[in-house]
Amino acid sequence: MDPITNPYAPGAGTPPPELAGRDELLRMVSIATQRVRAGRQAKSVLMIGLRGVGKTVLLDRMREDAETVGLQTLRVEAPEGRSLPAILAPQLRQALLRLSRSEQARDLGRRALRALAGFAKALKLKYEDIEVGIDYEPEPGLADNGDLEHDLQALLEAAGRAAQAAGTALILFVDELQYVEEEQLASLITALHRCAQRQVPVMLVGAGLPQLPGRMGRAKSYAERLFDFPFVGPLDPDAARAALEVPAQELEVMYEPAAIDLILQATECYPYFLQEWGKHAWDTASASPITQRDVETASIEATAALDESFFRVRFDRLTPSEKRYLRAMAELGRGPHRSGDIANALERKVTALGPTRNQLISKGMIWSPSHGDTAFTVPMFDAFMRRIMPGEDWRLS
Ligand SMILES: Nc1ncnc2c1ncn2[C@@H]1O[C@H](COP(=O)(O)OP(=O)(O)OP(=O)(O)O)[C@@H](O)[C@H]1O
Ligand SMILES: [Mg+2]
Tens of pLDDT, residues 20-67 = 999 999 999 999 999 999 999 999 999 999 999 999 999 999 999 999
In the chain, which residues have pLDDT < 70?
Answer: 397
- Between CA 95 and CA 102 the distance in angstroms is 12
- Between CA 219 and CA 200 the distance in angstroms is 23
Tell how far the Cα of 118 is from the centroid of ligand 1, in angstroms. Answer: 38
Ligand 1 in reach of 13 Cβ (< 6 A) = yes
pLDDT given for residue 161 in this prediction: 98
The SS3 of residue 63 is helix
Mutate to test the pocket of ligand 1, among 176, 272, 366 (most ligand atoms within 8 A of CB): 272
- Between CA 36 and CA 34 the distance in angstroms is 5
For residue 378, give the ligand nearest its CA: 1
Tell how far the Cα of 189 is from the centroid of ligand 2, in angstroms. Answer: 21
**How big, in percent rounded to 5, are the helix, strand and coil portions of the chain?**
55, 10, 35
pLDDT given for residue 396 in this prediction: 81
Ligand 1 in reach of 379 Cβ (< 6 A) = no
Tell how far the Cα of 241 is from the centroid of ligand 1, in angstroms. Answer: 15
Whether 28 and 232 have beta carbons less than 8 Å apart is answered as no
Tell how far the Cα of 298 is from the centroid of ligand 1, in angstroms. Answer: 20
Residues 6+ apart with CB under 8 A from 194: 153, 156, 157, 200
Tell how far the Cα of 144 is from the centroid of ligand 1, in angstroms. Answer: 39
pLDDT given for residue 224 in this prediction: 87
For residue 16, give the ligand nearest its CA: 1
- Between CA 134 and CA 117 the distance in angstroms is 6
Ligand 1 in reach of 9 Cβ (< 6 A) = yes
pLDDT given for residue 1 in this prediction: 96
Ligand 1 in reach of 233 Cβ (< 6 A) = no
Tell how far the Cα of 178 is from the centroid of ligand 2, in angstroms. Answer: 11
Q: Which stretches does DSSP call E strand in 23-169?
A: 44-48, 72-77
Which ligand 1 atom is at minimum distance from the Cα of 22? Answer: 1
Ligand 1 in reach of 118 Cβ (< 6 A) = no
Ligand 1 in reach of 51 Cβ (< 6 A) = yes
Ligand 1 in reach of 272 Cβ (< 6 A) = yes
pLDDT given for residue 79 in this prediction: 78
Tell how far the Cα of 19 is from the centroid of ligand 1, in angstroms. Answer: 9
